[in-house]
Structure 1
Amino acid sequence: MQASLTGHLVLSTLHTNTAIGAVTRLQDMGVEPFLLSSSLLAVMAQRLVRLLCVECREPLSRARWSATD
């Protein structure tokens, strides 16, 4: 956090389930909220998408797709 407050670009990883979980994790690690707001530029999340085999997959209707969100 100190490096980012002095203007350096800091790239880091945290293992959380969501992007907002990264902010919560930093707070749990003892970073004060005012430091987060002044030093955090971006948070990005990545989720792996499962692939189904050709024999097992079925079309998903729009109604079922909406229900899973």
Structure 2
Amino acid sequence: MSYEPCPGVRQELADLAAAEQTCCPFVTWTVTEVQGRPVLRVTAPAGAPEVVTPIAAVFQAGADATFAQ
């Protein structure tokens, strides 16, 4: 999910990723930057892509994010 490069967004995403990694260790949470935009990536284990579907739905609801396939 790609977000607008507003002040504090990347740190907020990093904090979220750290908390969610503790809560949901069955997926990998990473924060990077692509073309100046903070990107939150949630990666499912091999062979189980369906585990990220409900997570993506939460972020998609009311979010101004771009989802990459």
TM-score using structure 2 length: 0.29
TM-score using structure 1 length: 0.29
Structure of higher CA gyration radius: 1
User: Which structure dedicates a bigger proportion of its chain to strand?
Assistant: 2
Q: Which has the higher contact order (CA 8 A, sep 6+)?
A: 2
